């Protein structure tokens, strides 16, 4: 998603939708980075299983809130000039969140295995 290149040709509602989705993209990127950081700290024994689980639960909660309030709240039905871009951006962001949830599930399982082995 690169709305800054094409935003100027959109109507105001389309521009606002594309910009809102760009802000969501930055938040999704932060969640992805936080997840990687938490698991690196857990693997390096800087975080206990409980601390890692709590941190990942926070990532999951933020992701769910972002999906509902950040992505689902951007309506594309009434858009014209930016409709295709906004729909594409929403689809990409939902896919990234789906991938994030998959990695979260895997990470929670890793933590549980580590706890069981300890």
3-state DSSP assignment of residue 115: helix
The single-letter DSSP state of residue 117 is H
Widest CA span in the chain: 58
Q: Where residue 117 falls among pLDDT bands split at 50, 70, 90? A: confident
Between CA 65 and CA 48 the distance in angstroms is 26
pLDDT tens-place string over residues 68-113:
999 999 999 999 999 999 999 999 999 999 999 999 999 999 999 9
**Contact, 42 vs 118, CB < 8 A?**
no
Please state the pTM of the whole predicted model. 0.88
Between CA 74 and CA 98 the distance in angstroms is 18
């Amino acid at each position: 998603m690169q709305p800054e290149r094409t935003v100027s040709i959109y109507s105001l509602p389309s521009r606002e939708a594309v910009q809102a989705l760009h802000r969501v993209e930055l938040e999704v990127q932060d969640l992805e980075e936080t997840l990687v950081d938490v698991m690196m700290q857990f693997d390096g024994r800087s975080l206990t299983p409980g601390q890692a689980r709590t941190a990942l639960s926070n990532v999951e909660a933020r992701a769910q809130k972002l999906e509902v309030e950040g992505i689902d709240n951007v309506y594309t039905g009434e858009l014209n000039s930016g409709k295709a871009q906004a729909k594409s951006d929403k689809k990409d962001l939902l896919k990234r969140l789906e991938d994030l949830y998959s990695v979260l599930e895997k990470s929670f399982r890793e933590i549980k295995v580590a706890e069981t082995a300890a």
